Structure 1
Amino acid sequence: MRRDILKAAGLLIVGGLLYWFVTRQFHLQDLLARGAYIRVDAQRRPYLLALRGPDFTNRDLSLLHTIPTLERLFLEGCTVDDDGVASLMRLPRLMELDLSGTAVTDAAMPQLASIATLESLAVDDCPGVTIGGLEKLAQLKELNRLSARHVEMNFADYRRLQNDLTTVDIRASAESLLQLAPEDVWRAEWFEAPPRRCGTIRLSTRLDARRVTVDDLTAIAWPEAVAAIDFGVGTDLEPGVIDAVRRFPQIESLTIAATIDDEDFATICSLPRLKMLQIYSSTITDEGLARIPVDAPLESLRLRTGRLSTRGMAAIVRYSRLRFLDLSRHQTSPENFSRLAVLKELTSLSLIDCRLEDDDIRFLEDMGTLRYVDLRGNPLTTLPTGLIDSLPDLRQIDLRNTQIPQPDLVALNQTLHRQLLSNRFPLLLKFWHKDLFEYEGPNGELMLRDPFRLHQVYR
């Protein structure tokens, strides 16, 4: 009797496993036939499944428990609601879930909050999800990314949610948070700079915007949300606009294409958190540049003033924290440019069309921290092999539109081989010639006929 019971139990277990296996295989084949995308690991176990489109429904989710190895599940645009979400609680390894464009509502949030392994969740374009529902996700200890674009909330709601989910990178619709209207001159997007800042926004003028007024800035309801402002090309600034920028306490990045003067520049220099500044047109004089504070936090500067004197350059090099500097099209003496060598943290330098000749760029050999150098449009006649050899971390040098003749490239083989053997980074050289080769070294050379040459060199 006991033997019969054990035999029946064994048959039941084997039958269950066989049913599970067959059901799983048929389900996977059915999903693939209907356009699903599946990835498997080295053991041929499915770990990613993408079901996109209205043809996939709650019924498909009800059978996913036969694939317990699933870690990433994408259900964008599927005909799925709260009942379908309940089936996902049977996936023990689920870490990433995309429910964008589905019919899920706040009622599904407690069920999602019970999936302890969940690290990333997207509920973009889900009309039934509100800020109140998202707050119920606070108990997910592993959650580190939440995408809730087009979920209705303003910046005050967003900040409250960020306080509840302190370790989560939350992405919502930037224009919605600032409550921008279609007729506004602004478009908004998330501002990201290393390290990533959650909850800060970049404002940029729309392409059809021709003038920015003070009212356009004062109309922004939550200025503390804005970390970057870009006044684009072709946009005129009403007097007082630069002063109005000071009402944005978190500004770290500012781009201005309109012409500014010394007073505007002094206002900009007073911004306490400014790290990135791009000025494309100005009438800034040496007196204006002299107002740069010694302790300014600026790390990136693109400045087009037309001419720099010794006094103006002395003011710029006081930005001791600079990592990126663009002084393109400035007309000044080579000796004045050589003062840049005191910037010990500079990694990127752009000197386009500065009328620098071969001997004028020797000062760059003493700037050992440089990784990116742009010398386009200068009347150079020989390859700067000394510069290439002197900079141990050099990754890119742009020599397009110079006067370097083709025969000089023959030296690439010996010069760059030697430099690359001691350099842990690949080096990218850009040239503009008619009939030159693309150097791949040290694996060989490839002849190309295009007028634009990209010389990519690997170790």
Structure 2
Amino acid sequence: MRFLPVWLAVGLLVFSTGCPSKSTPDAGGGAAQVEPEKVEPDDAEAVAALEELGGRLTKDDRGVVTVADMSALSFSDEQLAPLGKLKHVKVLKLYGADVHDKTIIENVTQMKDLRDFSAANTVITDEAVAKLATLPELSVLQLRRTNITNKSLESMLALPKLRYLDLRYDAVNDVGMPTVAKMKNLQVLRLEGARISDAGLKELAGLSKMKFLNLRGTDITDAGFEAISHMTELETLETNGTAMTDEGAKHLAPLAKLKKLELYRALITDEGLVHLKDMADLEHLMLRETAIEGPGIANLTGLKKLKSLDLSETSFGDDGMEHIAKLPALESLNLWFTRVTADGLEQIKDMKTLKKLNLDDQGLGDDAMAHLAGLENLEELSINSNGDITNESVQYLKNLKNLKKLSIAFAQIDHKGVEELKKAIPGLEVKEG
């Protein structure tokens, strides 16, 4: 998932388990005894049939199924027919091209308590969504890669509790965004791969409760990011391949509550990073395949919660490493295919917070590894495709006593070197290819 905010994880747990059961006083005046609510039991044959297929069913303290996960494989409508006899399901997951509207219309609509529904990679259509819209408790709707269109969005307006909507790679576009804009309780919206441009995004500016927005693979430019600037409750913003420049980056500044920001393949340079300097809650930042070279990282040194920084596939070089060393909480640093040399790594040789470091494909040698010996809390290190790293580096790497995973594919550390490392660091997992 991908990253899920704490508020979302807690919310899903509450929706899955339901409200507390009624309690009655203890006869002796002691603590109250919880009595499970009496409900109609599930059809035993239906439960057995679904479990035999490999379905993962979870029961609550009343003994009825409340979670039905049928997403491990793609089952046919006929195989899924027993679902219609499970009346108390709150969370349902389906998957695959064998699932059609029939399953929804004939069976899923019987689940009046359904709150969380996922039908990824199925072939359900607008007709099925129209039927789903009769389920009043639905708050989570995950319809990635289905056959729905903008018409389904109109049906969803009948779901007043809808707060999580996944439309990734569906045939929805700008025309449908005014309808989405009416879903005032939305907190999570995933639009990766949908046909959304600046015009569509501007329609969504009024969704003031939004906390998680995914725009990977969309046609968004600086103008679209102006609309995002109004979503001041955002905690996660994921973008990929947008045409955002340094000018557009200024629209990120109002998003003071961001915890995760992905600007993968954006057109931002070092100058644009000044607009991130006041994001006090930022924990994860991805700048992969951007035009970042290094000096702009100075704007991030005041981010005391920043734990993860991805600079892979950029021209980031040694000039930026002195600023990396000043990031007070950094635990994960990805420098794969950047321009950092041994001199740059010397700048971070005393970082005690680092737990994960990726140095793949850097053209590094043994002299660079010497600067890693002081990273005493490092748990994962990847040095793949560095052909000048040899057994000479073992003397440095074996000082990393907390190291749990080491990747050395296409480096020149041989079997003897690996054995020496494993002896020095008990439990070390070494991936050689």
Same structural fold, with TM-score higher than 0.5 when normalized by the shorter chain: yes
Output aligned runs, 1:44-193, within 5 Å: 60=45, 75-76=49-50, 98=68, 101-103=80-82, 109=87, 112=88, 122=92, 125=103, 127=105, 128-130=107-109, 133-134=112-113, 147-149=116-118, 161=137, 172-174=141-143, 178=165, 182-185=170-173
Which of 247, 259, 262 is 2:246 aligned to? 262
Q: What secondary structure sits across from 1:205 in the alignment?
A: coil
The structure whose Rg is larger is: 1
Deviations 1:291-314 (A, max 9, x none): 33435322112225435464x232
The alignment covers a number of residue pairs equal to 324
Indicate whether 1:203 and 2:181 are aligned: no
Output aligned runs, 1:47-446, within 5 Å: 60=45, 75-76=49-50, 98=68, 101-103=80-82, 109=87, 112=88, 122=92, 125=103, 127=105, 128-130=107-109, 133-134=112-113, 147-149=116-118, 161=137, 172-174=141-143, 178=165, 182-185=170-173, 200-206=187-193, 209=195, 212-215=197-200, 218=203, 224=209, 227-232=212-217, 235-237=218-220, 240-251=223-234, 252-284=236-268, 287-303=271-287, 304-308=289-293, 310=295, 312-331=296-315, 334-382=318-366, 384-405=368-389, 408-409=390-391, 412=394, 415-417=396-398, 419-420=400-401, 423=402, 425-433=403-411, 436-437=414-415, 439=418
| Percentage of pairs with the same residue | 18
Q: What secondary structure sits across from 2:226 in the alignment?
A: helix
Q: What secondary structure sits across from 1:365 in the alignment?
A: coil
Q: What secondary structure sits across from 1:439 in the alignment?
A: helix
Deviations 1:391-436 (A, max 9, x none): 222122222233415xx22653x5555543xx2x513233324894
Call closer, same or farther: CA 1:455–1:222 in 2, change over 3 Å.
Answer: same
C-alpha RMSD over aligned residues: 4.7
Distance 2:221 2:393 in 1: 54
Q: What secondary structure sits across from 1:431 in the alignment?
A: coil
How far the C-alpha of 1:229 sits from its partner, in A, is 1.5
Instruction: Answer yes or no: is the 8 Å Cα contact 1:429–1:455 preserved in 2.
Output: yes
Distance 1:171 1:271 in 2: 24
Q: What secondary structure sits across from 1:397 in the alignment?
A: strand
Call closer, same or farther: CA 1:184–1:385 in 2, change over 3 Å.
Answer: same
Call closer, same or farther: CA 1:225–1:102 in 2, change over 3 Å.
Answer: farther
2:142 partner letter: S
How far the C-alpha of 1:365 sits from its partner, in A, is 1.6
Call closer, same or farther: CA 1:267–1:216 in 2, change over 3 Å.
Answer: closer
TM-score, normalisation: structure 2: 0.58
TM-score, normalisation: structure 1: 0.55
Distance 1:307 1:372 in 2: 21
Call closer, same or farther: CA 1:74–1:225 in 2, change over 3 Å.
Answer: farther
Give the gaps of 5 or more residues in structure 1.
1-56, 62-72, 80-87, 114-119, 136-145, 163-169, 187-198, 445-453
Instruction: Answer yes or no: is the 8 Å Cα contact 1:383–1:404 preserved in 2.
Output: no
Distance 2:251 2:132 in 1: 27
Distance 1:99 1:302 in 2: 32
Deviations 1:360-391 (A, max 9, x none): 31122211111111222323221644444322
Q: What secondary structure sits across from 2:212 in the alignment?
A: strand
2:286 partner letter: R
Q: What secondary structure sits across from 1:354 in the alignment?
A: coil
Instruction: Answer yes or no: is the 8 Å Cα contact 2:68–2:93 preserved in 1.
Output: yes
Instruction: Answer yes or no: is the 8 Å Cα contact 1:246–1:271 preserved in 2.
Output: yes
Instruction: Answer yes or no: is the 8 Å Cα contact 1:203–1:226 preserved in 2.
Output: no
